Every structure is written in C-alpha cells, then in structure tokens.
C-alpha cells in the first residue's frame, strides 16, 4: 500500500498546471540571424529552405553548431537523450549557451530518457535552463516504478517519440535521430537515419508545436520528479565538471569534426545551399498521450500522411525502420500498385532489426506485399561501412532507423513516424512534408544507395511462393538465400514464435 500510495500523482494530467512559456522572438542581430536573412532575402514570402543530412557525424555537428550559435533561445524535444559522449557534449554546450544568456528548454520522454542523474538537478537550477519530462512515471527507480507502470499502463503506454531542435527561432532540425552515440555513428550499432535542417516560414510552425507540448499538462517539470539525494551539486561544480569533460574530449571524433566544421560560418555568411519550397509540419496533439479517445483521428499525422500517399501519381519509395503495415497498409499499397504507382520499401532484416517482436509481426505481411507488386528490400548488417570508416575506427552493425517517403519527383517526407500501430495510434510523432524536387532527388539517391546489393537484400517470390533473398558478396557475385539471411536458428525461431503473439496494436 505504501508503494502504491503515490501511483496516481500524475494520473489526471488534464488538470495539471505548470508555468507557461512561449517561443521567444527570433534573434535579429546575431551572425546566424544575418546569415538566415541573407538566405531568405531572395525568396518569396511563406517559403522555407531545406538542407538534408543523412551522415551521422554531420547530424551531430549540425546540432552542436546551432547550439553554439544561439543567442536568444534553444528549444529541444527528444524521445531519447542519452548520457553518453554525444549527449554530454551537447549538454555541456547547452550549459555554455545558458551562461551567455540563452534560454534553454529541454523536453524529454520519461521512458526513453531516465532523468535520474543527480547532475540534472544542478543543470535545472540554472536560471536560464528548464527541463520537463513528458508523461512521467512517478517512481524514479526500482519496484515502485515497475508498480506504477503496471497500475497506469493505459497512460504510460503513450510515449513522445518526437525529435525537434529550434535555435533562436530561426533554424529547426527534425527527423528520426535521437541524441545518442549510435545515431551519430560512434557506436557498435550504427543507426542509419535522416534529418532535415529548415529555415523560413516552417520554423515558426515548429516553435508553435514545441510550445503546445511544453505547456501541456503532460510535460512535468523535472524538479517535481527528482528524488532527493544526499549528494548535492552546485552550478559552479557543474561548470567545472563540464570544462574538464570537454577538455578530455578534444581528441574525439565528435570534437574534431565540430572544430573542422564550416557549417556555422557558412550559415552566418548565407552560403549554405538551401533548397526552397513549401513545407508543412505534422505533429500529434500532446493530449493524445492521456486522452486519445477524444482526439479525432483526423489530427493524427499518420492519417494525414496516408491521404498524401494516396495522392501519389508515379512512385512511392519508403524507408522505414519498423514496418507493420497491417491489412489497411497492404490494401493501401495494393491500391497504389493497381493504379500503376510503383511502391518500393526498404526496412530492417531480422539481422538488423533491434526488436525481434517487430520483425515477427512484419514477417506476416511480406508475401502479401510482394504478391501485390510492391518491391521490398531488407537492410544488411554491413551497410554503410565505407562512410563510417571515414571517421570512426572499426566495423559496426548497421540498423535502419530512418523514416522517409519519396513521393513522385517533387515531394518528400522526413520524420519520426514508423509504419506500425505504436507510431500511428499510441505514440506522439512529428514529421515534415517538403515540396521540393531537389530534396526528393537526394532522398531517392540515398534510397538507391541503401538498397544496393552490397547494402540490402532484395526479396522475391520463388516459383513455389516461398520468399528468397538476393544480394551480392564483396566480389560482386550474386548471393541467394532461402531463409532469413545472416541469422542464427535461435533468432529465426524466436521471430517466428513472436509472430503469433496477438499484440500487433502495441508494437
């Protein structure tokens, strides 16, 4: 009874009230502001500029540079914000930004990011830094946390899967990447992903979405969640720790790449090649996490995305980490194929999928998709090795994390939305629809790179209706497999067993 006594502390978040804050007016005289003005000067009102990033280290540098350049405000929302090399460097840069007067608001998801580090309390005590946790589990650790998860599963099951950074109200970054080493290439497992850097009209829309999440009752100040600790840390001690940490990281690939990067200088000089057009950001309303029954399905990004996909005229190329299309998804892609619209999909293989139960559910739909005419590829663990070795020593195990859509030859979608029930129904998500032929072309080139025979298996149906996997070895010779490639019998058995579980709506 003692353990359960606090379990409902955040049960009624509809009525929760916390201090309200809003996006600040964009910087007007910083060097980043001058550069953005130069870039916008020749464009029509209402247009946005886009810069695509798919290489992991470049994605880290972009975030770090935008934090370093900020003079007014920084707003960040992430499902995962890890306490590893990349996370610590970015956190150190956030502290330095706050020390020079920049207002920092950081929103993280409670299940994706465990806020138990005692240094967080010191960071949150900074007058310019606020940290909030989305849809928190009140018990911070151990049995109590597990008990609340069980007692409040209906609420806890809805997570904030969004990824967004807005710097000075001038530049926004969104896509599939969380803040963790694997998303920036420095890990034994490398997540292949895509981000888009945007300026112009769409940034105001991104700031408005952040405000909606930040000021919702679902976002709880971290000061209300941290358990008292015998150890206390002052801001002075934190600054000393950060300075020593950054000094020790000066020889890492992350720091070297940031030092060599010209992104900040090019942005300030208006020299980044942005591609221009209209853009729309789709995001779930934050109340979906606690009041889904009263949120119209028409407000779901997945619903809006489906309507856009149905407008395709020639082709649809999908890169998606977790693909569980269900019967509606198979019907959608079959309808497009019947209308002579070629549907191509790249997803994870069993060897690269980090969630076996997801692969088990996905595997049920492979034959129906292939029978409808959809062309299907699955990523190989050795994908992207040459690009990685440019910076990081040693091999990695690649896994697909990107969520992109190439629509015909003039539109593209980049975001956090997986094609599964968890993304569409349970979680909150975000994504950007971009109307630009060059961004479309770049994503198409990336798709071709990732489905090359040395990077992905192409699935085909044999004469007997069984699936075969086709690729090439290092010498360019064809390889054909008749069972899940590059896996052990145990992995195949486990995926097959899990495919029978009636839990598709939860994964």
Active-site residues: which are they?
Answer: 161, 163, 168, 401, 403, 408
Strands, E, within 391-450: which ranges? 397-400, 403-407, 411-415, 430-435
Name which of 418, 414, 337, 328 is nearest 375 in CA terms: 337
Residue 111, token pair as written in the block = 């299940």
Helices (H) and strands (E) in the chain, counts: 18, 21
> Which residues, in sequence order, are CB contacts of 455 under 8 Å at separation 6+?
379, 380, 382, 383, 384, 449
- At 341 the three-state DSSP class reads coil
User: How far is residue 360 from each of residues 199, 264, 331, 345, 356, measured CA to CA in Å?
Assistant: 40, 44, 20, 17, 6
CA dihedral 332, 334, 338, 340 (to 10 degrees): 80
Contact 53, 196 (CB under 8 A): yes
Residue 140, token pair as written in the block = 């911070």
> Which residues, in sequence order, are CB contacts of 264 under 8 Å at separation 6+?
32, 65, 68, 69
User: How far is residue 359 from each of residues 89, 303, 352, 419, 455, measured CA to CA in Å?
Assistant: 34, 23, 10, 12, 19
454 vs 476: CA distance, rounded Å: 8
426 vs 173: CA distance, rounded Å: 24
- Name the phi and psi angles at 236, rounded to 5: -65, -40
364 vs 264: CA distance, rounded Å: 47
Residue-level length of the chain: 507
Residue 393 exposed, middle or buried by CB count within 10 Å (0-12, 13-18, 19+): exposed
- Name the phi and psi angles at 424, rounded to 5: -75, -40
Pairing of β 189-192 and β 397-400: parallel
Apex CA 196: angle with CA 400 and CA 335, to 5°? 60
359 vs 41: CA distance, rounded Å: 48
């Amino acid at each position: 009874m003692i353990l359960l006594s606090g379990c409902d502390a955040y049960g009624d978040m509809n009525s929760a009230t916390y201090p309200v804050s809003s996006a600040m007016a964009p910087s007007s005289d910083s060097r980043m502001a001058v550069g953005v003005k130069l870039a916008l000067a020749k464009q029509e009102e209402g247009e946005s500029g886009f810069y695509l990033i798919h290489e992991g280290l470049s994605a880290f540098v972009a975030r770090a540079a935008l934090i370093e350049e900020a003079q007014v405000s920084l707003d960040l929302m992430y499902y995962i914000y890890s306490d590893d090399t990349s996370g610590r460097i970015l956190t150190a840069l956030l502290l330095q930004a706050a020390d020079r007067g920049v207002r920092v608001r950081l929103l993280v998801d409670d299940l994706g990011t465990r806020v138990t580090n005692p240094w967080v309390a010191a960071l949150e005590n900074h007058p310019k830094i606020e940290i909030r946790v989305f849809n928190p589990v009140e018990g911070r650790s151990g049995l109590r946390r597990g008990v609340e998860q069980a007692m409040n599963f209906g609420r806890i099951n809805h997570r904030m899967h969004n990824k967004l950074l807005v710097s000075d109200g001038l530049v926004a970054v969104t896509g599939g990447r969380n803040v963790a080493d694997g998303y920036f290439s420095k890990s034994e497992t490398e997540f292949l992903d895509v981000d888009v850097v945007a300026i112009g009209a769409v940034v105001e829309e991104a700031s408005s979405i952040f405000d909606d999440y930040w000021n919702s009752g679902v976002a709880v100040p971290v000061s209300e969640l941290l358990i008292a600790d015998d150890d206390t840390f002052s801001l002075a001690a934190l600054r000393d720790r950060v300075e020593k940490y950054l000094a020790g990281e000066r020889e890492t690939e992350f720091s070297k790449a940031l030092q060599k990067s010209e992104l900040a200088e090019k942005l300030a000089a208006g020299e980044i090649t942005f591609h221009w057009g209209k853009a729309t950001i789709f995001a779930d309303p934050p109340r979906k996490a606690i009041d889904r029954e009263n949120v119209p399905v028409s407000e779901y990004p997945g619903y809006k995305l489906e309507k856009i996909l149905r407008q395709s005229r020639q082709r649809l190329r999908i890169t998606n980490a977790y693909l569980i299309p269900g019967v509606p998804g198979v019907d959608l892609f079959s309808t497009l194929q019947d209308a002579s619209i070629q549907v191509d999909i790249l997803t994870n293989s069993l060897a690269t999928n980090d969630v076996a139960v997801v692969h088990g559910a996905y595997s049920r739909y492979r034959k129906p998709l292939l029978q409808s005419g959809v062309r299907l590829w699955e990523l190989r663990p050795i994908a992207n090795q040459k690009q990685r070795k440019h910076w990081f020593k040693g091999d990695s195990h690649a896994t697909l994390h990107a969520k992109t859509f190439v629509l015909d030859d003039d539109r593209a979608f980049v975001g956090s939305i997986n094609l599964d029930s968890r993304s569409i129904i349970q979680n909150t998500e975000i994504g950007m629809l971009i109307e630009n032929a060059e961004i479309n072309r770049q994503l198409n080139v990336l798709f071709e790179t990732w489905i090359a025979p040395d990077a992905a298996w192409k699935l085909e149906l044999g004469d007997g209706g069984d699936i075969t996997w086709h690729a090439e070895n290092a010498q360019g010779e064809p390889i054909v497999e008749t069972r899940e490639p590059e896996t052990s019998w145990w992995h195949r058995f486990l995926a097959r067993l899990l495919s029978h579980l009636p839990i598709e709506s939860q994964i």
